Amino acid sequence: AVEQRLGIEAREKLAKVMRGERFEGKKAFLAQIEPFFNEFRENSK
């Protein structure tokens, strides 16, 4: 899963995103992890 490929800090940020929490650097974080989700989408087809 995507979570397993991310570091601990990134997993904590991802959990915050899932809960809808705001945090500093959220936009940058989302831009950073977007390729993981694009890859996931392509692999799940």
* pLDDT tens across the length of the chain (45 residues): 677 788 999 999 999 999 999 999 999 999 999 988 887 778 877
Provide the pLDDT for residue 30: 94
Cα–Cα distance between 26 and 34 in angstroms, integer? 12
Contact 10, 1 (CB under 8 A): no
Distances (CA, A) of 35 to 13, 25: 16, 17
Model pTM? 0.72
d(CA 40, CA 26): 20
Q: How far is Cα 5 from Cα 42, in angstroms, rounded to an integer?
A: 16
Domain count, the chain: 1
Which run of H or of E encompasses 13?
helix 8-19
